[in-house]
Amino acid sequence: MACVCWSVQGWIVCNDCWDTTRVYPGMAGQRKCCHCQSYNTCRVAPSVLPA
């Protein structure tokens, strides 16, 4: 399986507790939920707040 390395900050959402976490470039490959410590996460686009 190919290594996924992100060069920009992004967001992940946990599939267990539905918490959203921001990940930074230095955390490439770190897809652990900061809330429940699960690795069952996926990358998502940042949420857009109304102006």
User: Assign residue 17 a region: left if phi > 0, alpha if psi is -120 to 50, beta otherwise?
Assistant: alpha
Mean pLDDT of the chain: 74
Backbone angles phi, psi at 29, to 5 degrees: 90, -15
pLDDT tens digit string along 23-37?
A: 876 655 567 888 898
For residue 6, give every residue at least 6 positions away whose Cβ sits within 8 Å of its Cβ, in sequence order, or none.
23, 25, 28, 43
The residue among 16 and 31 whose pLDDT is bigger is 16
From residue 25, give the alpha-carbon distance in Å to each of 5, 17, 18, 38.
8, 24, 22, 20
pTM: 0.61
Question: Distance between alpha carbon 14 and the CA centroid of its chain, in Å?
Answer: 8
